[in-house]
Amino acid sequence: MARKISRPISTSKQSEPAKAELHLDFDKLLTREEREAIKAKAALKIEARDKEEASARYLKAEMERIDKELHPEAEVQMVSFTPQLADFADAIRMEGRTYHHGFTYEVPAHQLAQLLDIQYQTHRHDREITRGRSSEEFYRRSRDLSVGANGVTSGKSARF
């Protein structure tokens, strides 16, 4: 059984050809007085447009200022934070942002406690692993090897 393929219905209208812009000679068509009056009218319209835009911007700025005065708790305070992480950590990743070791970031004050805690946890983990020793010693495992008739045997497992 043959399937019927649906095709888009083409109802495109012929676009109207663009009208060529007429070249008008303003000096011949308008008198000097008419041109001066039109210039003055254009200057008034531009001034009114600029005044309206300035008024709208000023209104918006004043609304933001008054809103901050009336609702200071809504204002998010930003603080500087420079992560000083343990050797094994290169960055803190939190809420989709990455905070690299040694760089200074502006963060919301409510996140600072979390970032400081994560920073502390990296140092605590480093102390737990190394137990005050250098990190090279941690990876140098002590093996109690003995050589006997059966070859080399290990007496104990590696100590941590």
Averaged over successive runs of 10 residues, the pLDDT of the chain (160 residues) comes to 64 63 82 93 96 96 89 81 91 92 92 94 86 64 68 56
* Residue range of the domain that includes 104: 76-139
49, 87: one domain = no
Same domain, 131 and 92: yes
pLDDT value for 158 = 44
Query: Residue 106 forms beta bridges with which residues?
Result: 80
pTM of the predicted structure, to 2 decimals: 0.42
Q: Specify the amino acid at residue 118.
A: I
Q: Are residues 65 and 53 in the same domain?
A: yes
Q: Looking at the chain, list the stretches that DSSP marks H as alpha helix, in order from N- to C-terminal side.
A: 26-29, 32-70, 109-130, 135-139
Burial class (CB in 10 A: 0-12, 13-18, 19+), 92: buried
Give me the number of domains the chain comprises.
2
Residue 2: inside a domain = no
The pLDDT of residue 29 is 87
